[in-house]
């Protein structure tokens, strides 16, 4: 599959061929329908700072909407064909972990499909 990946600000976003991500036990695979370019992504690509990234190269894109195309065996509460919007929930914000963030710690929405953990409600709100 093709994805726009980031390695460093010298190269910016590069269109690369990467393996199709298969969902793990508690993950789903999404067919990405839309991915926003956040101001944070602009800072990363322009070289202001990429300190939030815990993986490189990485497919950026942390504001994503799509359709579930595969379910991991332990996923509950979702079914194939569900339309979902993905966000990063950091509550309390002091306990955020960027390595768990889509497009920051694992590949995000500037490629399709993508696989990601789905938790609703987020564990901190249970």
Q: Which is nearer to Zn ion, 9 or 40 (CB)?
A: 40
Question: Encoding tokens for residue 61?
Answer: 């894109």
Q: How far apart are CA 112 and CA 59, in angstroms?
A: 10
Q: Which is nearer to Zn ion, 26 or 38 (CB)?
A: 38
Write down the least CB distance from residue 101 to Zn ion, Å.
Answer: 10
- Of 71, 72, 44, 42, whose CA–CA distance to 58 is shortest? 44
Which residue lies nearest Zn ion, judged by its C-beta? 38
Binding site for Zn ion (CB under 5 A): 38, 40
Q: Is-contact 40 88, C-beta < 8 A?
A: no
Write down the least CB distance from residue 58 to Zn ion, Å.
Answer: 14
Q: Which is nearer to Zn ion, 12 or 20 (CB)?
A: 12
- 68 membership: H or E segment, kind and range: strand 64-71
Q: Which is nearer to Zn ion, 40 or 54 (CB)?
A: 40
Write down the least CB distance from residue 40 to Zn ion, Å.
Answer: 4
- Look at strands 114-117 and 64-71 and give their pairing: unpaired
């Amino acid at each position: 599959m093709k994805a726009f990946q980031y390695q460093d600000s010298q190269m910016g976003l590069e269109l690369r061929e990467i393996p199709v991500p298969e969902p793990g036990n508690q993950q789903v695979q999404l067919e990405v329908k839309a991915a926003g370019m956040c101001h944070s992504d602009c800072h990363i690509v322009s070289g202001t700072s990429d300190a939030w990234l815990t993986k490189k190269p990485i497919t950026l894109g942390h504001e994503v909407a799509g359709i579930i195309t595969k379910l991991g065996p332990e996923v509950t509460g979702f079914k194939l064909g569900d339309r979902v919007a993905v966000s990063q929930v950091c509550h309390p914000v002091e306990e955020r972990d960027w390595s768990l963030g889509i497009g920051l710690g694992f590949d995000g929405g500037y490629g399709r499909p993508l696989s990601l953990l789905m938790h609703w409600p987020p564990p901190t709100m249970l």
